[in-house]
Amino acid sequence: MKLFNSQRTSTNSLLLLAVLFSFFLMIVDYRHKQLDGLRDLLTTVTHPIHMIAEIPASAIDWIAEQFSSHQTLLSENRQLHQQNLQLKGEMLRFQSLEEENSRLRMQLGATLKVGERVTLAELVGINLTPYKQQATISKGSASSVYQGQTVINASGVMGQVIQVTPFRSTVLLITDSLHSTPVRVRGSGVLTIAHGTGHIDRLELPYLPDSANVRVGDLLVTSGLGERFPPDYPVARITEVPEPGTSGTVAATPMANLSQNRQVMLVWNIDNALELPVADTAAESEAIPDEESSSGTRPATQEQPGNDEQRDG
């Protein structure tokens, strides 16, 4: 016990001496600056030790900063990609309207709208058999999607919504054999119906008269007839025109890449869209029969049993 007390007294004495010596050195250094060289030497010697001790903390800070920067870049990239896709869809609309002159709008006798509301959706499934060409998208009634709504991508019209669930919707593609799209030949103003053929890369225009002014390469855009599709969205480009006096059907290839694009847009016709009124003429109604009579055997959208009332609504 005495030995333990003796050791404790000795330790306390050493500690006291160390504290007093520290105060002495601080006073000497403050008044005479005698220890600057020694302090610099000790700082230089211990600097590598400080650097090594700081490595873990610096590494953690660097990793956290890199991860944060990466996440920020990913988020910004997603936002820019969505904005780019939406702007492409709007650009398709505006380019078509810019190229449309007053004379053609007078002939069409329609009210053109720009500035529709659009919502982005993901393509989550697709069926491209000859008997059924449909797609499933990631938006439903919870996002206010409705039957008959137009679906486009960055290149053109894809189809129309035919079935809606809370979080998914089924889209009938324009190439489905039961789908018909009222179109106009941009430039000549010829109005007709583009029918699906069951082939992903082919539409047919069986109602064009022999005298119709169409050429390979002409662009087909939605005409707006029947109010199923908003007007002036690209639909297809004519790829086949029979020689005069020969049998055959004018064919076109869809502008939208129906089998590859993962992101699509749903289009609303909004009441407060900018309207460009044009004069009333009878030229359009004489140029093509009423849509219902022209496509009586092929409705503009696929009719599903039990959905007639919803479609009319």
Q: Which residue has the tokens 């669930």?
A: 165
Centroid of chain to Cα 252: 25
C-alpha to C-alpha distance for 176 and 203, rounded to whole angstroms: 9
pLDDT, position 261: 73
Q: Which residue has the tokens 């050195």?
A: 25
What is the dihedral angle through the alpha carbons of 197, 199, 205, 206, rounded to the nearest 10 degrees? -40
Q: Which of 111-120, 178-187, 235-244, 276-285 has the lowest mean pLDDT?
A: 276-285
What digits encode the pLDDT tens for the residues 76-106?
Answer: 888 888 888 888 877 877 776 666 554 444 4
What digits encode the pLDDT tens for the residues 28-65?
Answer: 766 666 666 666 677 777 778 877 877 887 788 788 77
Centroid of chain to Cα 258: 15
Of the chain, the percentage scoring pLDDT greater than 70 comes to 72
pLDDT, position 65: 77
pLDDT, position 74: 84
3-state secondary structure of 162: strand
Residue 25 has pLDDT above 60, yes or no: yes
Candidates 177, 187, 208, 196; CA nearest to 253 is 196
3-state secondary structure of 154: coil
Cα angle value 217/222/223 (rounded, 5°): 110
Contact assessment for residue 114 and residue 100, using Cβ atoms and an 8 Å cutoff: no
Residue 110 has pLDDT above 80, yes or no: no
Candidates 112, 101, 109; CA nearest to 233 is 112
pLDDT, position 32: 63
DSSP secondary structure letter of residue 225: G
pTM greater than 0.85 (yes/no)? no
Is the C-alpha dihedral spanning 28, 31, 34, 38 positive or negative? Answer: positive
| Average pLDDT estimate for 226-245 | 89
Residue 290 has pLDDT above 70, yes or no: no
| Start-to-end C-alpha separation, the chain | 100
Residue 5 has pLDDT above 80, yes or no: no
C-alpha to C-alpha distance for 10 and 180, rounded to whole angstroms: 103
DSSP secondary structure letter of residue 239: E
pLDDT, position 187: 83
C-alpha to C-alpha distance for 88 and 77, rounded to whole angstroms: 16
Q: Which residue has the tokens 């610096």?
A: 58
Question: In this structure, what are the phi and psi dihedrals at residue 220, rounded to the nearest 5 degrees?
Answer: -100, 130
| Average pLDDT estimate for 278-291 | 38
| Average pLDDT estimate for 12-17 | 82
Contacts of 141 (CB under 8 A, 6+ apart): 164, 165, 166
What digits encode the pLDDT tens for the residues 137-187?
Answer: 999 999 999 999 999 988 899 999 999 999 999 999 999 999 999 999 998
C-alpha to C-alpha distance for 189 and 19, rounded to whole angstroms: 100
H-run or E-run covering 254: strand 250-254
pLDDT, position 46: 77
Candidates 194, 111, 126; CA nearest to 157 is 194
| Average pLDDT estimate for 249-277 | 73
Mean pLDDT of the chain: 76
Question: In this structure, what are the phi and psi dihedrals at residue 243, rounded to the nearest 5 degrees?
Answer: -65, 145
C-alpha to C-alpha distance for 64 and 69, rounded to whole angstroms: 9
| Average pLDDT estimate for 243-270 | 83
Q: Which residue has the tokens 């000549």?
A: 188
pLDDT, position 291: 40
Q: What is the assigned CATH class of domain 100-303?
A: mainly beta
